[in-house]
Chains A and B, each alone.
Chain A
C-alpha cells in the first residue's frame, strides 16, 4: 500500500525529470547557436540540407495546400451562401489559410516528412558510430551535422508555409470561381480589402518561424539523444512526430491569443 508521501515523491520525481529534460533541450539549443559559426562560414552545408528537407517536402506541401484550399472554398461558400454573402469566400479562405491553416498544417506536414527523416538520420548516424567518428576526427558533430540541419529546417518551413498558403488560395479560387461561379473580381477584391499585410500575413509568417524553431529543435534533439539501437531510433522518430504535433498546436493557441486577440 502506497502512502500519500510515496505519491508525492513520485510526482516530484516526474516533475523534476521533465524539468531536467527541458533544461537539456534548451542547453542543446544554445549549444547549436554557439556552434553555428561553421554554417555561416560554409553556407553550402545549410543549402545542401535545405535541398533535402525543403525541396523534398515541396510535393506534399503543394498537394496538401491545394486540397485544403479546395475543401475550404467548398465549405466556406456553402456556409456563407446561407447568409447571402457567398461573395466573401475569397476573404475567408485567405484569412483562414494565412493566419491559421497555413502555418499549422505546413508545420505538421513538415514534422512528419522532414522532422522524422532528420531524427532517423541523426539517430542512425549515432548508432553506426558516424558521430563518434566525427568527434575522433576532431570535428564537432553539433557544428557539422546538427546545426546545418537545424537551420535548414528553420529556413525551409516558413518558405513552405508561404507556398502552402499561395497554393491553398489558388485551390479556393479554382473551386469557387471556376466551379461554383463566384465572380473573379469580387473574389480577389474582397480578399485584398480584408487581408492586412502586417496583421495577417506577417503574423502568419512569424508563427511559422516559431513553429520551425520548435519542430527543427525537436527533430535534431530527438535524433541526437536517441538510444543508438534500432528500437531506440524508431522510438525517437515517433516521438518527433507526436511531440512536434502537440507543441505546434499548443504554441498556435498561445500565439493566436497574443496576435489576434491582443492579450
Chain B
C-alpha cells in the first residue's frame, strides 16, 4: 500500500445511511499528479466519495487512503493536518457571504500562515489574476454571477497551493463559456501546481476534454474506467447511453410501474 505513485486510494469501500447502501465494495486509485474524473448519474454516490476522501464521513467498511494515511483512522488534529494539503471546490461555491472576494481568497492564508499582509495581498492578487477576477477583488459574493462566484471559489480552493484538489460538480449550472473557462482552469491548476485533482461531475463532454482518467459509477459500483480515448471507444451500453445522452437504455426513462394499458383501462391506482 505504501505506494508513492498513488495519492488517493479507495480499497473495497462500502458506505450507507441506515439500510440504504450508497457505495458497494468500491475500489479506485488516483495516481499522483493526475486529473481524474468520477462520473455518474445523479444520486450514484459520487459526492459521497469526495466526502470520504475529505474525511467528512467514515466508510462502513474498507479503507480510504490519502497520501498513504488511512483517513478514517486519523484523529481530528491529524485529519486537519491532512486537510491543509487539500483544497475543495464546493458545488454551491460556499463563499463566505460576509467577506469580499479578496478576503475569501485571503482567508486560509490569514488563518494558517504568518505571512505579512503585504505578501498575502500579492498572493491573493496572483490567484485572482489566474482566474481572471483581479478587477473584482472588492466585490461581495452576492454581487457576482454564478460563473464568477465559481471562479472565486476556485481561486480560494488553491489559495495554499494544495497537493490534492477536490472539485464537487464544478460545471453544474454554468453557461458554455464559463463552463469551458472552468474546465481549462482546472486542467491548468493541476499541471501548474503539480497537484492531484479529482473532479466529481456528470458533465461528460467537458470532462473528456480535460481529464487523464475517468471512473464511471452507477448504483455504488465502478462500471467502467479508462482514459478518455477508452471511454469514446467503449461499447458498454451504460457508457454509450451516458455519452450520447439517450433518454432510455440501461438507465430506464420510466420509473418502475405496472403495465400501461392495464393502468389506463383499470380503475383506481
Residues of A within 8 A of B (CB): 124-125, 128-130, 132-133, 135-139, 144
Contacts and interface: CB of A to CB of B under 8 A. Distances in A.
Contact of B112 (A130, A132, A133, A138): A138
A136 B97 contact: no
Interface stretch (B81-89, B185-193, B213-221): B81-89
A139 B76 CA distance: 11
A81 to B, nearest CB: 53
Contacts, number: 41
Contacts of A132: 56, 90, 94
A135 B84 CA distance: 10
A130 to B, nearest CB: 5
A129 B92 contact: yes
A92 to B, nearest CB: 45
Contacts of B95: 130
6 contacts: A125-B97, A129-B92, A133-B88, A135-B83, A138-B83, A139-B111
Given A136-B54, A138-B81, A138-B83, A128 B107 contact: no
A136 B92 contact: no
| Interface band, chain B | 20 to 34
Contacts of B97: 124-125, 128, 130
Contacts of A144: 111
Contacts of A129: 90-92, 94
A133 B83 contact: no
A130 B96 contact: yes
A130 B98 CA distance: 11
A124 B86 CA distance: 24
A129 B95 CA distance: 9
A136 to B, nearest CB: 5
Interface string B50-87: 00001010000000000000000000000111011010
A133 B86 CA distance: 11
B12 interface: no
A128 B84 contact: no
A133 B156 CA distance: 11
B81 A136 contact: no
A137 B107 contact: yes
Contact of B86 (A125, A136, A139): A136
Contacts of A139: 108, 111
B144 to A, nearest CB: 14
Interface string B96-139: 11000000000110011000000000000000000000000000
Given A128-B97, A138-B112, A139-B111, A133 B84 contact: no
Nearest to A127: B92
Contacts of A135: 56, 83
A135 B81 CA distance: 11
A136 B88 CA distance: 7
